[in-house]
Amino acid sequence: MSDSVRIIEMGPRDGLQNEKTSVSVEARIAFIEALVAAGLDTVEVGAFVSPKAIPQMASSDAVLRGVAHVKGAEFHVLVPNEKGYDAARAAGAKVVSVFAAASEGFSRANINCTIAESIGRFKPVLARAKADGVKVRGYISCVLGCPFDGEIEPKAVADLASTLFELGCYEISLGDTIGVGTPSKAKEMLRAVSANIPVGKLAMHFHDTYGQALANLYAGMEEGVRVIDAAAGGLGGCPYAPGATGNVATEDVVYMLEGMGIRTGVDMDRLLAATNAMSGVLGKPPVSRVASALNAKKRRAVS
């Protein structure tokens, strides 16, 4: 194990886009500012998608412009096609993300096209981004299981990851979108992908539906992956995964890593404050086990 891990904060995008409560631009900006102040210097802040499809991501341009003053941070936005890329660039985006699924069933259900068609949509995005000097991160959904197609072969994930990498994605984030993976399956998948792509170019994006995310992350770290996507408070979920609890909670990841002597650069007290503030906006407590435990400890201390 190395002595540091890079955490990519997903809460303002992957977290909030699945919440039933819409969050104002001002509250989203305040959330991002608080996360950066906690030491999370890479944050995905929005998605340039149709507001009809994902109303929670409406006004992502205003959010991106609203955090432009924040120094020392890198802000990512999701773009599905050239139209989204145009809007993102107009708002000042310097890093964009594109996404594909490792299963045909999920691709059709989620973005209404085949895997090949999805690649066709963002090929011109990657070409233009390269010309513009914009970095592109690639996401792959359902790398450890699909709600429609079931088991996913590691080779299917590896082939798609290679395609994204060859097209110019600087990093490939491998997503257990419905949180069904286990450590042995995570290792098998990562070994298949890293056979063709340097492990330093891979990230893990594991959801915690079945309570396996931390174990899967640890297994991935044993394989050499040092980039982890996480969402403050465990925000989010997947509309195709009943009971999904969202991405692994940033607090839980930080607690595990720091307890192992692995640096994250994250201030837990400030992270907890950011999570609690957003929980107040959403009107529900955080899913994070660590946040819940620390909040209970604070309540006991003042009672």
Closest CA to 109 of 238, 247, 20, 206: 238
Residue 64 in contact with residue 28, Cβ under 8 Å? Answer: no
Name 150's Cβ contacts closer than 8 Å, sequence gap at least 6.
Answer: none
Q: Could you tell me which residues are beta bridge partners of residue 206?
A: 176
Q: Is 8 helix (H, G, I), strand (E, B) or coil?
A: strand
Choose the catalytic residue: 142, 146, 169, 238.
238
Give CA angle at 122 (121, 124), nearest 5°: 95
Please give the structure tokens belonging to residue 177. Answer: 């979108």
Compute the distance between CA of residue 133 and CA of residue 129 in angstroms, rounded to an integer: 6
238 is catalytic: yes
Q: Could you tell me which residues are beta bridge partners of residue 101?
A: 141
DSSP state of 142: -
Catalytically active residues are 238
